[in-house]
Chains A and B, each alone.
Chain A
C-alpha cells in the first residue's frame, strides 16, 4: 500500500476530539497517549456505519446482516494479521486488550504447563498487567516468579537477565517498550536466549504495536499482546497473538458460546482456532473499528512516525532538563520512543498534572501501573508526557512553558 506523506498538523484535522477547549479559552494539548490514544474520524464513522447498516451477531445467523457482520469482523482479523506480520489469521485472537490477553496465556498455557520448581522470568519494568497474572499463576501452580533487574539508566540488565535464565525458566514475559521509561527492549536477543533454554516468550506489545513496525513471524515470539485503544481504535478490543502450534494445544480460557464445537449433557468439545478462545459474543463493533484504525496506520509510514516521536522526545527532554530541577526517567532518546516521564524537585506529580491541566495539557501522574519500577527508581510518582502521530512541536513548547510556570508557582511563595 502506498504510504502518504506524514504531516502531524494535517492529520490533526482527522481528530475532532483534539480540536476543543478543555477550559474556557484553553485548547487541549493531549500528551497522554501511552494511556490511550484518540480515534480519527474514519474510525468514528466505522462505528456508526457498522451499527447503522451491518450489525448483527457473528458466526451465528444465516441471514444477511449476520453474514455482513461476520465478514467485517473476520476482515478485521485479517488486517491485524497483515499489520503485525502473523503467518495465519487464526493466530490472532480478539480480546478486550493487553490485560486480558496476558491473563488468557497465564490461565490457559500457565495452568497447563507450570509446576512447582518452574520459574517465570519477568523484568522490573513490567506493567502490572504482565506481573499480576503471573503472580496468580504462580499461586495456582507452585511456580516461582523472578524479575530481572534494570540498570540505573532504565535499560534491561541483559547480563543479569541471561544469568537468571535457566532450564527452570518456562516462560519469559517482557515489555517491548516500557510505558514509563520508553525503553525499547532488545526483543530478538531476549527471545533467542529464552528459546535456547526451552522457555516460551510472551511480549507485552501495548506500547510497541502503535509506534513501530512489528513482524511477528520474524520476531519468533510465542505470544504477543496489544490493545486497540492505544493505536487509534476504541477501548474494549485488543489482540493476543499466539503461534498456531501452541494455541492448538492450549485449553480454552473462558467457556460459553462460540468456543465450542459440540456440547452434550456430559461435556463439550472445544472449537478450532480462533473461536476456541473467543467465548460469547465478541466486541464486534470495536473489532471492526480497530480494523479501520489499522487501515489508517498503514497509510502512514510508521518509520516516519517513530522518527517524529523521537524528535519530539529529544526536544522535550532537552528543554525540560534545561529548566533545572527536573529529572527525566529512562535512557537517552536514541534508546526510547515517544515517552518522557519526569520528576520535578519539590513538586508532587499530582500538582504538576493539575497545573498542566489548567494550561490544557493532559499528562498522566502517578505510578502508571508500574509500582515495582517506581520503587526501583526511588520515586513515589512521576509525570508522563507521551506523544503520538498528531502531536506537534507546539505541544512540546506548551509542555515546557507550563512546567516552568508550575515551578515558578510553587517557588515564588517560598
Chain B
C-alpha cells in the first residue's frame, strides 16, 4: 500500500489539532488501553448523563499518528451520541470512519482508542458521588 494514502490530510489534521484531547471534567466513566507492542497508550474519559447520553468525551495519550488521529475522530463522532449508539459502533465502523486504508498491523493502532472507548462505557469511575 502507498503510505500517502495513510497520511491523508484529514488524518494529519486530526493528529496535529486533535478534538477534545485532555481530561474530561466530571467524568463518570474512564478506561485506559495500551498496545504493549509499540508502547502506545490511550485513555478515554466520558461523562454519561442521566438519559444515557455521552454528554462529554475526552481522550489523552501517546502514540503514533494513526492511533492519535483515530482517537480524535472517534471522540468527535460520538460526542453527544447515546451510549447505545456508541456500543453499536463496531470496529469496522471505526476503520470506515478513519478513511485511509490500513494494513492489519496499522489497524491495531487505529482500533486502540476504539477499544478504550468501548471498555470505558463499562467502567464507571470509582468516585460516583461526584457525578
- Chains A and B are bound partners: yes
Instruction: Name the distance in Å between B25's Cβ and chain A's nearest Cβ.
Output: 28
B39 lies within 8 A of A357 (CB): no
Q: Contacts A413-B16, A414-B16 given: A380-B40 contact, CB under 8 Å?
A: yes
A374 within 8 A of B: yes
Q: Contacts A350-B106, A358-B2, A358-B4 given: A366-B64 contact, CB under 8 Å?
A: no
B37 within 8 A of A: yes
Q: Contacts A350-B66, A413-B16 given: A358-B37 contact, CB under 8 Å?
A: no
B104 within 8 A of A: no
Instruction: Name the distance in Å between B45's Cβ and chain A's nearest Cβ.
Output: 21
Distance A348 CA – B2 CA, assembled complex (angstroms):
19
Distance A348 CA – B16 CA, assembled complex (angstroms):
13
Within 8 A of A (CB), among B81-126: 106, 109
A23 lies within 8 A of B2 (CB): yes
A380 lies within 8 A of B2 (CB): no
Q: Contacts A350-B64, A365-B38, A367-B39 given: A355-B3 contact, CB under 8 Å?
A: yes
B27 within 8 A of A: no
Chain A residues whose C-beta falls within 8 Å of the C-beta of B2 in the assembled complex: 23, 358
Chain B residues whose C-beta falls within 8 Å of the C-beta of A358 in the assembled complex: 2-4
Interchain CB contact (< 8 A) of A371 among B7, B36, B63: B36
Within 8 A of B (CB), among A17-44: 23
A357 lies within 8 A of B65 (CB): no
B4 lies within 8 A of A366 (CB): no
B8 within 8 A of A: no
Within 8 A of B (CB), among A352-400: 354-355, 357-358, 365-367, 371, 374, 379-381
Bits for B37-53, please: 1 = Cβ < 8 Å to A, else 0. Answer: 11110000000000000
B54 within 8 A of A: no
A188 within 8 A of B: no
A143 within 8 A of B: no
Distance A381 CA – B65 CA, assembled complex (angstroms):
14
Distance A357 CA – B1 CA, assembled complex (angstroms):
10
**Chain B residues close to A by CB (< 8 Å):** 2-4, 6-7, 12, 16, 36-40, 62-66, 106, 109
Q: Sample 18 A-B pairs with CB under 8 A, ordered by A number.
A: A348-B38, A348-B40, A348-B65, A350-B66, A350-B106, A354-B3, A355-B7, A358-B3, A358-B4, A366-B39, A367-B36, A371-B36, A380-B38, A380-B62, A381-B38, A409-B7, A410-B65, A413-B16
List the 6 closest pairs (A to B, CB-CB), nearest first.
Answer: A380-B39, A348-B64, A350-B64, A358-B3, A381-B39, A351-B65
